[in-house]
């Protein structure tokens, strides 16, 4: 059994990738920390083999690598795009995939890292089976530019009020737009929407290309210490 920790500040993204991986019989999600304090605590306490890490924790990478090496944990970095992927490998992480990676890529990366191999996702669309994602392409073409932007913000974990402020509209208009998006895609809530995007690379790339809401950085406190009492892990969806 491959034990995996998913460290990301976006609750919907953590839940989405956790569901993608947890359906595999040989993969088990043992932690989903959302802050540096929770992550450091998880690395010490949880018996894990692979850590999936977002770039929001990059400033803590040396400390994370030291603890991971001590406990035999390998690092799989979630890159926003291909530009820095090779840089992350030079920093000493064992694997890199993109946040828009489809589920089978994430599963393959986790399995390779657990066997002691490295994994660098190819930026070449021909290697990513994009041409086979007919459902993702069909949904992308049905959504308007504004609906794509709203979908991107939902996947990032933003609430209706925050999305409305970014798009200079009302919260009610966002609610109405989400109902239309749910109907067009055939999902019933925000989590199902995020999971659908994770599973369909073409749609994930389309939403990423029009996203106007910058990802929020995690709340960092000064003087992170291993002796400090840390908050309990949370995987709730807001």
Residues 106 and 160 in one domain: no
State whether 140 and 122 are in the same domain: no
Residue 227 main-chain phi, psi, to 5 deg: -85, -10
Question: Domain holding 57: CATH number?
Answer: 3.40.50.2300
Distance CA 137, CA 116 (A): 35
Contact 98, 79 (CB under 8 A): yes
For residue 141, give the CATH number of its domain.
Answer: 1.10.10.10
Flag whether 230 is in a domain: no
Domain assignment present for residue 234? The answer is no
Spatial separation of the C-alpha atoms in residues 29 and 50, rounded to whole Å: 10
Instruction: Please check whether residues 28 and 98 belong to one and the same domain.
Output: yes
| Rounded distance between C-alpha atoms, residue 78 and residue 177, angstroms | 29
Q: What is the pLDDT along the chain (238 residues), one digit of tens a residue?
A: 999 999 987 777 787 788 888 889 999 999 999 899 999 999 999 989 999 999 889 999 999 999 999 999 999 999 877 777 888 888 999 999 987 777 788 899 999 999 999 999 887 544 444 445 677 788 889 999 999 999 999 988 889 999 999 999 999 999 999 999 999 988 888 888 888 887 777 888 888 787 654 544 434 334 444 433 334 443 333 4
What distance in Å separates the CA atoms of residue 153 and residue 160, rounded to the nearest whole number? 9
| Last residue within a domain, chosen from 110, 127, 144 | 127
Considering the domain boundaries, does residue 29 fall inside one? yes
34 and 59 in a single domain? The answer is yes
Residues 39 and 121 in one domain: yes
Answer yes or no: do 116 and 149 share one domain. no
Q: Is residue 60 part of a domain?
A: yes
Domain interval for residue 8: 2-127
Q: Are residues 108 and 196 in the same domain?
A: no
User: In total, how many domains does the chain have?
Assistant: 2
In a domain, 217, yes or no: no
Q: Cα(169)–Cα(108) distance, rounded to whole angstroms?
A: 41
């Amino acid at each position: 059994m491959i034990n995996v920790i998913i460290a990301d500040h976006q609750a919907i993204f953590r839940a989405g990738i956790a569901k993608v991986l947890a359906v595999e019989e040989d993969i088990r999600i043992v932690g989903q920390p959302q802050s540096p304090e929770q992550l450091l605590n998880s690395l010490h306490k949880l018996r894990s083999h692979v850590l999936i890490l977002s770039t929001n924790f990059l400033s803590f990478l040396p400390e994370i690598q030291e603890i991971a090496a001590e406990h035999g944990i390998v690092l799989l970095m979630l890159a926003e795009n291909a530009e820095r992927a090779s840089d992350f490998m030079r920093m000493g992480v064992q694997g890199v995939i993109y946040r828009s990676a489809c589920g089978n890529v994430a599963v393959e990366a986790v399995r390779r890292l657990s066997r002691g191999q490295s994994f660098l996702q190819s930026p070449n669309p021909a290697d990513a089976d994009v041409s086979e994602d007919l459902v993702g392409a069909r949904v992308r073409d049905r959504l308007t530019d504004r609906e794509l932007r709203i979908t991107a913000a939902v996947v990032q974990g933003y609430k209706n009020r925050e999305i409305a402020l970014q798009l200079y509209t009302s919260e009610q208009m966002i609610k109405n737009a989400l109902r239309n998006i749910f109907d067009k895609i055939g999902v019933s809530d925000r989590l199902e929407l995020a999971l659908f995007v994770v599973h369909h690379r073409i749609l994930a790339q389309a939403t990423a290309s029009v996203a106007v809401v910058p990802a929020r950085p995690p709340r960092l406190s000064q003087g992170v210490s291993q002796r400090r009492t840390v908050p309990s892990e949370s995987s709730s969806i807001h």
